[in-house]
Every structure is written in C-alpha cells, then in structure tokens.
Amino acid sequence: MHDQEIHRSHRTGWLRAAVLGANDGIVSTASLVLGVAAADAPRGGVLTAGIAGLVAGAMSMAAGEYVSVHSQKDAEDADLDRERRELDDDPDFELEELTQVYVERGVDLELAETVAEQLMAHDALGAHARDELGIIERAAARPVQAALASGATFSVGAAIPLVALAAVPIDRAEPVISAASLLALAGLGALGARTGGASIPRGAARVTLWGAAAMALTMLVGHLFGARL
C-alpha cells in the first residue's frame, strides 16, 4: 500500500498572494520608516508615516490583486462561455478536437477517442476546460480570496517594523527595525519555501537580500535629503 502523495501546486494561488503581501508589507513599511527616521524626523512623524504606509499599502495591495486576478478570471470565463457555445453548436467537432488533444499527448487514437467520449459524457465542459484550455478548478482565479490574502498579510508584515519602532527610543530605531524586519523576511522566505516544497535556505536568503537592499537604499535617501533640509 502506497502512502498518499502530497502535492503543493494547489497552494500556488493563495500562497503567492500571501507571500507577496507579507513581503511587501515588511519591506515597504520598514523602508519607509527607516528612510523617514534617517532624515532625523521626530518619533511621532516616523510612526505616523509608518501607519499611513500600512493603511495605504494594504488597500493598494488588495485592490491591485483583486483587479489583476479578476482580469484573469474574466479571460477564463470568456473562454469557458465560448467553449460552452461550441459544445452546443457542434459537439462532434468538439469530440474530435478533444481526441486530438490526447493523441498529441501520446495516447493511441482508438484509446483517445474512447477517453474523449467518456469524459464528454461525464462533463464535457470540464474536460475541455481542463485539457484544451488548461483551466483547472483548484487553480482557477479567485479575486476576492487573493485580495483578502494580500491585504491581510501586508498588514501583518507592515506591523512588524512598526512594533519595533514603538518598542525602542528613536535614536535606536534604525538598527532595531532593520534587524526585526530582516529576521521576519528570513522567516517568511523560509516559510514560503517550505510550504511550496523549495529550498528553505535559498528561499530565506533571496527574500532577505532584496529586503536589505531596499532598506539600505531608502536609509541612504533619508540621510542625503535629511541633511539638506
């Protein structure tokens, strides 16, 4: 008896949105507060900028994810509507078309015809959606799910540098925020890699390095412009 196989591809929709949201929340908010702090802004101004960045970023992420994923869903729905009409207008041609799909994948013609007939008898639209159009139910676009995942995880990620800022005096904010944010990014990268079945050290490293680069650049901008004001 074989153990049940564990597949991770069904997680790609929500996992992508969640990892992107949390990563963007940490990097953008940490970079924002570090840049403002580097310009010698008062603690209240830095905290206000961070909170404003959290709210604006979460709404932007949610709206952007909803619009982009909804565009994908609209395209999928249009393809399914067209396929539904073609099945009603010319089912014989659609049967031949599905048969040819299986033949091109290496199935013998006779077996391909049998499989196509049986699948179309069971669920014609589902068979064409899956095997002709490549639309799989578990991977189909879900705009609301993606928007909520992005907005919520952005907020959680953005809260990390803000908590670090609130916990220390302003003169110690830069190293504490940087350390807390980089640790969070490393953990996020490791979690995303583990969930997706990829290399954990590599996943943690790539997220941390990009985050460190973003924070370093914004701190540099803050120091340069803060010195001129």
Domain layout of the chain by residue ranges: 9-82+140-228
Using CA atoms of 164, 165, 170, 175 in order, give the dihedral in degrees to the nearest 10.
Answer: 50
Whether 142 has a pLDDT exceeding 90, the answer reads: no
Query: Band of the pLDDT at 188, cuts 50, 70, 90?
Result: confident
pLDDT digits (tens, 9 = 90+) for 103-141: 988 888 889 889 888 988 888 888 888 888 877 765 556
CA angle 12, 13, 17 (to 5 degrees): 105
What is the per-residue DSSP string for 167-198? HS-GGGHHHHHHHHHHHHHHHHHHHHHHHHTS
Q: Are 218 and 34 in contact (CB under 8 A)?
A: yes
pLDDT digits (tens, 9 = 90+) for 75-84: 888 888 988 8
Query: Band of the pLDDT at 5, cuts 50, 70, 90?
Result: very low
